[in-house]
Amino acid sequence: MYETNTRPSDLVKDDLPDVDAGSTLPTEEEVLEAMKDVVDPELMVNVVDLGLVYGASVDDEGNVTLDMTLTSPTCPLTDKIEYDTKYVLDGLAKSVTINWVWLPPWSLEMITDDGREQLRAVGYNL
C-alpha cells in the first residue's frame, strides 16, 4: 500500500494560496488604527483621537513616517510617546520615523468626537 520510503508528511498535499509580496505592507489606515494604542500620558486619550497625528505614510519597503505634534512643544513625555509609537508599530512596519511638527499648532478643535468622549470619561469638561 505505501512505499517504504514514503513519509506521512509526503501524503499530505496542501494547496496554499500564493502570497502577494505587496500585501504585507501596512496601509495608512492600519497604521492609524495601531496608533490608537498610543495614549497621551497626561490626558489619557489616544494620540489619534487627540488630533496629534497629522499624517502617516508607508513607503514601498514598509517603512512608516508619521507627522505628529504634541499638545505643547515643551511636553516632558515625548520620549514615552516615541517609545509607545515604535512599540505598537513593531511587526507592522519595517521602521518608524516620527517627524515632530509644530505647524499648524495643536488646538482643542483637532480632537475627534471619540476623543472628546474619552476626555469627558476621565473628567475633562469640553
State pLDDT tens for residues 93-124.
Answer: 999 999 999 999 999 999 999 999 999 999 99
Domains of the chain: 28-113 (3.30.300.130)
CA 16 vs CA 13, 20, 24, 44: distances in Å: 9, 12, 17, 44
- Is the pLDDT confidence value at 72 over 70? yes
Confidence band, pLDDT 50/70/90 cuts, at residue 19: very low
| Per-residue buried b or exposed e for 28-52, using 16+ beta carbons within 10 Å of the residue's own CB | eebbbebbeebbbeebebbbbbbbb
